[in-house]
């Protein structure tokens, strides 16, 4: 095989130093991603999804193994691997426009004129439908809007790979659906490679080409990989009744709640029916338990 893999994680281990000795968060993570692919990472809270993303971003260094991007080893952060942070991470003293500008100036300082930069910033803010509020500061806009600016900032860097850590996690369902649709559109246009962490099974199935399901930590690794062969463009309403879609959904749910069931989790996942109404109800229940278990986990961590 001559064609090189676009992005490749090989045998990635990471040990975090803790007062009580090193803590092995990831063990032997292997993953190959093609150019333009949309990959979701899903797994229980605290299993190491953010850690994987941070290693690809270059913010963490793998203890063993490593990451290759187009044949080059990743060992420091860089704008070709733009990150959309979970809590947007906009600079609070800059307006939406200025936040994107900081990134654009940095990436295109030698290749774009002032006027071109301005156009490019505005274009990217338009992509996420933020052009009407681009001169507002983060504290003057809603959570969903901040997240959109964060996405615009990442897009404006023209990254080879977009890394998104639960980009829609803190948003209400409507805003989330809206942004998911925008993201699908943008990705179809630009054909970026995207790695997205999510807790939301529907989101994973709707957006991804592949869903990477991670086992529970410590020493977490890739458990299963699910290929999602649904026709694009995808429409959430049509898919809601689609048997194939519900099958994928059930597969992810069964991984999370049967195979990787967390101790103490009293969820009965006896019949993951593919009949929409049934599975939907269950999914809702599951979703609730998932969230409460996530909360529980973070409380434990705190």
Partner 1 sequence: MSSMALKLLKPFGLVEKLNLAALIKALVVPMTGILIFLFIWNIGARNIHTSLGEFPGPAQVYEQSKNLLAEHNRERQKEAAFYQRQDDRNAKKLAKNPDAEIKFRAYTGKATFIDQIGTSLVTVLAGFFAASLIAIPAGIVIGLNKTLYSAFNPVIQLFKPVSPLAWLPLVTMVVSALYVSDDPMFAKSFVTSLITVSLCCLWPTLLNTAVGVSSISADLNNVSKVLRLSWLTHVIKIVIPSAIPMIFTGLRLSLGIAWMVLIAAEMLAQNPGLGKFVWDEFQNGSSNSLGRIMVAVIVIGLIGFMLDRIMLMLQKKVSWDKTQELR
Ligand X SMILES: Nc1ncnc2c1ncn2[C@@H]1O[C@H](COP(=O)(O)OP(=O)(O)OP(=O)(O)O)[C@@H](O)[C@H]1O
Binding residues (CB under 6 A) for ligand X: these are 16, 18, 23, 25, 43, 45-51, 217, 301
Near partner 1 by CB under 8 A: residue from 5, 63, 89, 297: 89
Q: Is the peptide bond before 218 cis (omega within 30 degrees of 0)?
A: yes
Q: Which is nearer to partner 1, 57 or 267 (CB)?
A: 57
Q: Name the token pair of 97.
A: 């426009």
Q: Which is nearer to partner 1, 157 or 205 (CB)?
A: 157
- Tell me if 198 contacts Mg ion by CB under 5 A: no
Q: Which residues pair with 73 in a beta bridge?
A: 68
Near partner 1 by CB under 8 A: residue from 65, 79, 169, 223: 79
Residue 183 CB, nearest approach to partner 1 (Å)? 19
Q: Name the token pair of 96.
A: 């939406």
Residue 289 CB, nearest approach to ligand X (Å)? 15
75-81 long-range CB contacts below 8 Å, 24 or more apart? 79/103, 79/106, 79/107, 79/157, 79/159, 80/157, 80/159, 80/160, 80/161, 81/56, 81/57, 81/159, 81/160, 81/161, 81/163
CB 167 within 8 A of CB 152: no
Site for partner 1 in 153-172 (CB under 8 A): 157
Near partner 1 by CB under 8 A: residue from 6, 49, 81, 234: 81
Tell me the per-residue interface mask from 229 to 268 with partner 1, x by CB under 8 A, - otherwise.
----------------------------------------
Residues in CB range of 66: below 8 A, 6 or more apart: 9, 10, 11, 12, 73, 74, 75
Residue 160 CB, nearest approach to partner 1 (Å)? 13
Q: Where are the alpha helices (DSSP H) in 8-140?
A: 49-57, 96-108, 114-127
Near Mg ion by CB under 5 A: residue from 50, 216, 221, 279: 50
Structural element, H or E, at residue 232: none
The CA-based diameter of the chain, rounded to the nearest angstrom, is 61
CB 196 within 8 A of CB 169: no
- Tell me if 107 contacts partner 1 by CB under 8 A: yes
Q: Which is nearer to Mg ion, 120 or 217 (CB)?
A: 217
- Residues counted in the chain: 302
Question: Rg (Cα) of the chain, in Å, rounded?
Answer: 20
- Among Mg ion, partner 1, ligand X, none, residue 48 binds (CB under 5-8 Å by kind): ligand X
Residues in CB range of 222: below 8 A, 6 or more apart: 29, 30, 31, 212, 213, 214, 215
- Among ligand X, partner 1, Mg ion, none, residue 89 binds (CB under 5-8 Å by kind): partner 1
- Among ligand X, Mg ion, partner 1, none, residue 25 binds (CB under 5-8 Å by kind): ligand X
Q: Which is nearer to partner 1, 102 or 294 (CB)?
A: 102
Q: Which is nearer to partner 1, 79 or 223 (CB)?
A: 79
Residues that bind partner 1 (CB under 8 A): 57-59, 76-79, 81-83, 85, 87, 89, 91-93, 102-103, 106-107, 137, 139, 157
């Amino acid at each position: 095989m001559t064609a090189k893999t676009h992005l490749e994680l090989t045998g990635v281990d990471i040990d975090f130093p803790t007062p009580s000795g090193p803590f092995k968060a990831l063990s032997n993570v292997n993953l190959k991603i093609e150019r333009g692919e949309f990959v979701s990472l899903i797994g229980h809270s605290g299993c190491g999804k953010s850690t994987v993303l941070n290693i690809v971003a270059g913010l963490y260094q793998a203890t063993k193994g490593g990451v290759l991007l187009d044949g080059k080893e990743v060992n420091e952060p860089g704008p070709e691997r733009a990150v959309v942070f979970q809590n947007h991470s906009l600079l609070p003293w800059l307006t939406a426009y200025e936040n994107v500008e900081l990134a654009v100036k940095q990436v295109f300082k030698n290749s774009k004129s002032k006027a071109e930069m301005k156009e490019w910033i505005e274009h990217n803010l338009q992509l996420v439908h933020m052009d009407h509020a681009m001169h507002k500061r983060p504290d003057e806009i809603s959570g969903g809007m901040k997240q959109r600016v964060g996405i615009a900032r990442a897009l404006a860097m023209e990254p080879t790979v977009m890394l998104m850590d639960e980009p829609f996690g803190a948003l209400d369902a409507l805003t989330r659906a809206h942004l998911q649709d925008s993201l699908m559109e943008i990705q179809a246009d630009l054909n970026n490679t995207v790695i997205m962490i999510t807790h939301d099974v529907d989101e994973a199935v709707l957006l991804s080409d592949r869903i990477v399901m991670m086992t529970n930590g410590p020493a977490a690794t890739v458990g299963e990989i699910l290929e999602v062969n649904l026709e694009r463009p995808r429409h959430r309403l049509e898919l809601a009744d689609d048997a194939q879609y519900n099958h994928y959904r059930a597969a992810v749910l069964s991984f999370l709640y049967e195979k990787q069931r967390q101790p103490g989790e009293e969820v009965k996942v006896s019949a993951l029916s593919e009949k929409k109404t049934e599975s939907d109800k269950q999914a809702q229940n599951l979703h609730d338990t998932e969230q409460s278990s996530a909360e529980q986990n973070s409380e434990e961590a705190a």
